[in-house]
Structure 1
Amino acid sequence: MEFRHLGRSGLIVSRIAYGNWLTGSSSRSEETELACVRAALDAGITTFDTADVYADTAAEESLGRALKGERREGLEILTKVFAPTGPGRNDMGLSRKHIRESIEGSLRRLGTDHVDVYQAHRFDLSTPLEETMEAFADVVHSGKAHYIGVSEWTAGQIRRGHALARELKISLVSNQPQYSALWRVPEAEVMPACEELGVGQIVWSPLAQGVLTGKYPPGAGPWPEGSRATDVNDGSPELAAWLNDDVLGRVQRLRPVAADLGLTLAQLSLAWVLRNPGVCAAVLGASRPGHITDNAKAVDVRLDEETVARIDTVLGPVVRRDPAATRESSPPTPDWRLA
């Protein structure tokens, strides 16, 4: 495994992070979760990413059980706050109330007294950013998190949050955007802003919901019940955007590119993501331990410019690049909690 500083902070993370957002899906069980975490540890992965909303809080509990007995100082545990974790109007968002209550719940479920990075899962248009950042500062200054991060914020939102964090003497060190060879939305605005500010990228969905593994051949749908393509807990709404024959056919055309390097399609796709100097870590989920073992090998791959050009030629027409897609991922209006 390779390791890198998270942005310009002193925190070091593994280039592959294990993400357990698949916990609670049709393809996962507690036994599988434990086996996947063990495979991650065996592969040298020390960075583990989760969120309070995953599997209705059960994912944090599962990760806490899986990591029990491991040396806490040797791990980097990241979790997130924003999405609803209860029925009340204050059980969501980035208000002081929700952040203070959520960190306590996350620590209890994870079985630890602190997380290494506490992340805003989305930007909250209904709460003043000053209130949000002051609440995060309280969390850090109380020792319940070492750093803060954000996920799917726009470049402007990250700049404002970073400036407030500095005023409050806390470190906003990471951004977690969707990023893959098919989804290059952060490249235009978000990544340049983060590079300027010293904020590192911990990217999610580097395999485009599994599409870049090649397991969805063109013309093979409809997908069977119980598969990831039909399970909303496995991310099927995001996956559905890629399940068309043009995209799937182009992914299959990458097989010779991978074969020339002795790689699987998944390893090729992960290596493409990790070649970006702003990407500190790629969050990798798995439905089987073997996926972690095989895909973690991508950290040793260095793609030359000719290979990158071949990938761009094949995927170019179906790549998503519009920066507006980052704004679309956040709540559409300030009064979303009252809808």
Structure 2
Amino acid sequence: MSAEYDAKGMPFRRMGSSGLRIPLFSFGGWLTLGETVVGDPVKELIKTAFEHGINMFDTAEGYADGNAEIELGRVIKELGLRRSDLVITTKLFWGGSGPNDMGLSRKHVVEGTKKCLERLQMDYVDVIFAHRPDPTVPMEEVVRAFNFVIDQGWAFYWATSEWSAQQIEEAHHMATKLHLAGPIAEQCEHHMLNRERAEKEYAPLYKHYSLGTTDYSPLACGLLTGKYNEGIPAGSRLDTHKDFFKDTLEVLHSDEGKRRIEKVKALTEFAQKELGCSVSQLALAWLAVNPNTSTVILGASKPWQLIENLKALDVIPKLTPAVLENIDKILDNKPKPQTTWGRPGLDKLGRL
């Protein structure tokens, strides 16, 4: 018997230009499912997410070498979750070490999709992402390959992840030329300490294509939880994945890293005194109020972490324009608008 889905007050948004409705907060398996979290703990995480209104789950063929998809698919079956209640997304690029087991060639897109579905034990995913751009493959081949996957019924939509604005633009132009479907969304790293691409580079895409973002690493790999304010705690993500986060650790120990920590400390104090919440909840709510955000992908290794993060929903109404302005003063990293070369600005209600 299938478990009934209850949104529990979770807000929903369209995923980019599509008609697909997705929860404002979703759950992702990067660096956890099939890696640091396996077996029954996976079931507890998915069950907790579902019971708190999250019905979108994000994974990739490269997460834990495919084991993330295996764990997710197994647990969904064991919990008896109705497939039509769920939005399942996965991503293609790193499928193996062979010359055609990675990238975005038609061969890998087709074969990789079929393997993803096998691991997930599903007939289809809702959205399949190009996990990275592949400059070694003609864009026409990429667009045709993902549309083939859609035509087979293996996915309903396709999207991109960590593509540049120019590459997304090219994909749309090619799709229009071929009378095919273009990407509906972009999965990018977006958080309080990383704003330039999502808030400036993609700005024309939001306007021209109704692009939406599915934002990963919303807490900057834990930096925006405050856990790294006094060093690297044992068992933390930066401790257990030192090789993977080598560059992040180098930055953290630099002068720039120290400035980031000072910002997190200031944000922590602001969150507690002005909003009565944790810095994590503030960071998540801040990202959620961005109108171009389709969903914020939460990561967690324990159910209580997920529950605490979802309290960000209560913080969203508190983020008035004045509060957001104060946050920008603390961050001091708001992307500068495109120059008008001295031309006077338009009325605030004027359209560009």
Query: What TM-score results when the alignment is normalised by the length of structure 1?
Result: 0.88
Does the Cα contact within 8 Å between 2:32 and 2:300 map onto a contact in 1?
Answer: no
Name the amino acid aligned to 1:138: F
Is 1:256 aligned with 2:257?
no
Is 1:311 aligned with 2:327?
yes
Q: Distance in 2 between matches of 1:281 and 1:13?
A: 7
Is 1:280 aligned with 2:275?
no
By relative contact order (CA 8 Å, sep 6+), the higher-ranking structure is 1
Q: Secondary structure of 1:253's partner? A: helix
Gaps (5+ residues) in structure 2? Answer: 1-9, 337-352
Gaps (5+ residues) in structure 1? Answer: 323-339
Moved more, 245-254 or 277-286: 245-254
Name the amino acid aligned to 2:260: V
Once the two structures are superposed, what CA deviation does each residue of 1:151-194 show, in whole Å capped at 9, x if it has no partner? 11111111111233343432521111110011002211114313
Q: Distance in 1 between matches of 2:243 and 2:307?
A: 20
What does 1:118-157 align with in structure 2 at a 5 Å threshold? Answer: 118-157=128-167
Once the two structures are superposed, what CA deviation does each residue of 1:263-306 show, in whole Å capped at 9, x if it has no partner? 11111000110111000101110021111112122234221122
Q: Distance in 2 between matches of 1:112 and 1:55?
A: 19
1:49 aligned to which of 34, 43, 58: 58
Does the Cα contact within 8 Å between 1:206 and 1:284 map onto a contact in 2?
Answer: yes
Query: Taking structure 1 as reference, are residues 66 and 95 closer, same or farther at Cα in structure 2, changes over 3 Å only?
Result: same
Partner of 1:208: 220
Name the amino acid aligned to 1:106: C
Q: Distance in 1 between matches of 2:243 and 2:325?
A: 31
Name the amino acid aligned to 1:286: A
Query: Taking structure 1 as reference, are residues 234 and 215 closer, same or farther at Cα in structure 2, changes over 3 Å only?
Result: farther
Does the Cα contact within 8 Å between 1:140 and 1:170 map onto a contact in 2?
Answer: no
2:119 aligned to which of 106, 109, 119: 109
Partner of 2:279: 265
Moved more, 122-131 or 291-300: 291-300
Shift of 1:234: 9.5
Partner of 1:328: none
Shift of 1:233: 8.1
Partner of 1:59: 68
Partner of 1:173: 184
Does the Cα contact within 8 Å between 1:258 and 1:264 map onto a contact in 2?
Answer: yes
The structure with more radius of gyration: 2
Shift of 1:26: 6.8
Does the Cα contact within 8 Å between 2:38 and 2:71 map onto a contact in 1?
Answer: no
Partner of 1:246: 259
Does the Cα contact within 8 Å between 2:171 and 2:182 map onto a contact in 1?
Answer: no
Does the Cα contact within 8 Å between 1:6 and 1:173 map onto a contact in 2?
Answer: yes
Q: Distance in 1 between matches of 2:85 and 2:215?
A: 21
Query: Taking structure 1 as reference, are residues 279 and 257 closer, same or farther at Cα in structure 2, changes over 3 Å only?
Result: same
Query: Taking structure 1 as reference, are residues 31 and 236 closer, same or farther at Cα in structure 2, changes over 3 Å only?
Result: farther
Query: Taking structure 1 as reference, are residues 237 and 24 closer, same or farther at Cα in structure 2, changes over 3 Å only?
Result: farther
Partner of 1:327: none
1:17 aligned to which of 19, 26, 30: 26
Partner of 2:305: 291
Q: Secondary structure of 1:210's partner? A: helix
Q: Distance in 2 between matches of 1:64 and 1:71?
A: 12
Partner of 1:332: none
Q: Distance in 1 between matches of 2:151 and 2:34?
A: 36
Query: Taking structure 1 as reference, are residues 191 and 297 closer, same or farther at Cα in structure 2, changes over 3 Å only?
Result: farther
Identity of aligned residues (%): 38
Shift of 1:9: 1.2
Does the Cα contact within 8 Å between 1:17 and 1:282 map onto a contact in 2?
Answer: yes
Name the amino acid aligned to 1:41: F
1:193 aligned to which of 194, 198, 205: 205
Q: Distance in 1 between matches of 2:21 and 2:271?
A: 30
1:231 aligned to which of 237, 240, 245: 240
Is 1:7 aligned with 2:19?
no
Q: Distance in 2 between matches of 1:268 and 1:6?
A: 23
Q: Distance in 2 between matches of 1:321 and 1:75?
A: 35
Does the Cα contact within 8 Å between 1:209 and 1:238 map onto a contact in 2?
Answer: no
Q: Distance in 1 between matches of 2:172 and 2:240?
A: 36
Query: Taking structure 1 as reference, are residues 67 and 281 closer, same or farther at Cα in structure 2, changes over 3 Å only?
Result: same
Query: What TM-score results when the alignment is normalised by the length of structure 2?
Result: 0.84
Partner of 1:98: 108
Aligned-CA RMSD value: 2.2
